Structure 1
Amino acid sequence: MNFDLIKEVVGLVQQFIEQNEDELLYSNDIQGFKEWINASSKSYSEEKNPDWVGKELGRSSESIINTLLIRMGRYAKTYSRSIGSSFFASQDDFIYLINLKTMGAMTKMELIRNNVSEKSSGMLIINRLISNGWAEQTISQKDKRMKHIQITEKGISVLEEHMDEIRKASRVVVGNLNHSEQMLLIAILSKLDEFHDSFYHMNVETGNLLDMVYKRLN
């Protein structure tokens, strides 16, 4: 008996159930499962060679990917403006707080790097969090010369108060992607993030950094 095949089929059934619970596009029976499989196969074949604006005029896949990533960032920023508008000055405020809550105390530069921010703007965000009483600076227990930033009880309270709105914005940004498409997107974006993270914070001029990364690709 091919147990690997059975595991794959069970995995597909679980995927179908989870996705269909959210979207309710198919009946919860074998016929609905078959329709879902056919639709997924069709979607995959279409995505292998998608169309995009300017493709017939020679616009490259790299160009449209850059444009779409920028557009997605702007969509996300627009939706986030409605989150605690009377509390948060920008989406960076609650993103920094989420980082501190989930990852624990860290130095200012570690927090700024984790959020891929410029040092100047990152420092403004941290100072704002401290000023609002949502974060505080403490002396490291391991090294008295080092100072850490950590979230306060007030910061946790403010974050929890608006967490439903934050989750709603995250859900909206994902839009109409189904579960398998979300998992694929996570894998692709994680691969890109891992590649760029090793270069992004190097202390070199922007032009030199661009050339360095470009040479690594060739």
Structure 2
Amino acid sequence: MNYHFLHELLDSAAAYEASQQETNQEKNLQGYIDWLTRKNQDWKDPTWQGKELGRSAESVICTLLIHMGRYAKSYSKAAIEGSDFSTQDEFIFLINLKAHGSMTKMELIKLNKQEKPGGIQTINRLIKMGWINQVASQEDKRAKLIHLTPKGEQALDAQMDKIRTATKIVSGNLTNIEKNQLIHLLTKLDLFHEPIYEMHPSTDHLLDIGIEKISTK
């Protein structure tokens, strides 16, 4: 039995019931089917501010992604309030080291999609705090690997409950089905943009490269 499918079906049914709380309509199978039909139609032809004046879907997507980044940053800031963490990048670096193990400075910076100067500053702060250290690679003595220290892991663990709360809030009122849909769409966007980002193109060429990739997709 596909329990994952059943779980998604129950989430969908719960969303249907919640949407009918303020109506006098009877909750039944036909009502659920009608609700799904309307919901799917909303996905096909959504409305947004300025649409009737010619505002594009691309403009709305860009604006909403910027808004979400700011919302997420504010929750992350609240999650480290009163701790020794200064920025969200610091705990993200530690989380990635804990999840993926030791790596070079540039591997860590690349994993976090950060510019080199800012990434180096974050790493230096973490070294100063004693939360990470550098050791010579066993495979290449010229290379140094960044390790998460016990002190760093302890600092991270002390803050993880608040960090998890922040990530839960960012997901808001999305159902599990909607979360999976959003993950799929954001992953698709990430796979599109990552190769361009890793090329480190100059600013005056960036838009041309992006448009060229769109035209050849």
TM-score by length of 2: 0.86
Q: How far did residue 206 of structure 1 move? A: 1.7
Matches within 5 A, 1:1-218: 12-17=5-10, 25=18, 38-85=34-81, 86-218=83-215
The Cα of 1:119 is off from its aligned counterpart by: 0.8
- Aligned residues of 1:105 and 1:148 also touching (Cα < 8 A): yes
* Alpha-carbon offset, residue 210 of structure 1: 2.2
Which of 80-89 and 58-67 deviates more?
A: 80-89
When structure 1 is superposed on structure 2, of 165-174 and 38-47 the one drifting more is 38-47
Distance apart, 1:11 and its partner CA: 5.1
Q: Deviations over 1:86-110 (max 9, x none)?
A: 3210111111111111011111111
Instruction: Indicate the RMSD between aligned Cα atoms, in angstroms.
Output: 2.5
Change (3 A) 1:120 1:15: same
Q: Give, in angstroms, the shift of residue 13 of structure 1.
A: 2.4
Where structure 1 has 5 or more consecutive residues not aligned to the other structure, the ranges are 1-5
In structure 2, the residue corresponding to 1:64 is in which secondary structure? Answer: helix
Q: Quick one: percent identity of the two aligned structures?
A: 44
- Superposition deviation, residue 12 in structure 1: 3.8
1:145-202: per-residue Cα shift (whole Å, max 9, x none)? 1111121111111111111111100010000110100000000000111111111021
- How many residues are paired up? 207
Contact persistence 2:109–2:119 (CA under 8 A): yes
- Check conservation: 2:16, 2:32, Cα contact below 8 A: no
Structure 2 CA distance, aligned partners of 1:196 and 1:189? 10
- 1:121 Cα shift? 0.7
Name the counterpart of 1:3: none
State how far apart, in whole Å, the 1-side matches of 2:160 and 2:152 are.
12
SS, match of residue 79 in structure 2: coil
Deviation track 1:107-133 (CA, whole Å, cap 9, x = no partner) reads: 111111111111111111111111111
**In 1: Cα distance, 2:195 partner to 2:79 partner:** 32
Confirm or deny: 8 A CA contact 1:13 1:33 kept in the other structure: no
Cα distance, 1:40 vs structure 2: 4.0
Report if the CA contact (8 A) 2:11-2:177 is conserved: no
